[in-house]
């Protein structure tokens, strides 16, 4: 009898099973097909500039204000008078340190 049942033999499932087994846990991994043959085989990763650096980082507000004026930028918010948007921007800037 296993301590842990992992469903899915993709990258995450296999990695979790490996490290749990290394820690002495009795693991059973269930996969309907071949290991790492589903989306782990063909998703090619996720490339997104927003994920390469933390968004709330120093200098992002200055850059963001410039980008807000460019509809083609990676960070475009349609300029408008909105109390909700102003409140969100205020909270966001508090984490930009």
pTM greater than 0.85 (yes/no): no
Domain ranges of the chain: 4-42, 54-94
Take residue 61 and report the two structure tokens written for it.
Answer: 């507000």
Rg of the chain, C-alpha, whole Å: 22
Q: In this structure, are residues 42 and 33 in contact, taking their beta carbons and an 8 Å threshold?
A: no
- CA dihedral sign, ordered 57, 63, 65, 69: negative
pLDDT above 90 (res 21)? yes
- Round to whole Å and give the CA distance between 8 and 32: 8
- The predicted-structure confidence for 38-89, as pLDDT tens digits, reads as follows 776 666 566 665 555 556 677 777 887 788 778 788 777 777 789 998 898 8
């Amino acid at each position: 009898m296993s301590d842990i049942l992992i469903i899915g033999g993709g990258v995450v499932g296999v990695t979790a099973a490996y490290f749990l087994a290394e820690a002495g846990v009795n693991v059973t991994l269930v996969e309907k097909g071949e290991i790492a043959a589903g989306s782990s085989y063909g998703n090619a990763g996720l490339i997104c500039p927003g994920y390469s650096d933390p968004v709330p980082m120093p200098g992002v507000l200055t850059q963001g204000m410039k980008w807000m004026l460019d509809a083609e930028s990676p960070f475009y918010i349609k300029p408008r008078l909105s109390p909700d948007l102003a409140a969100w921007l205020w909270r966001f800037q508090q984490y930009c340190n």
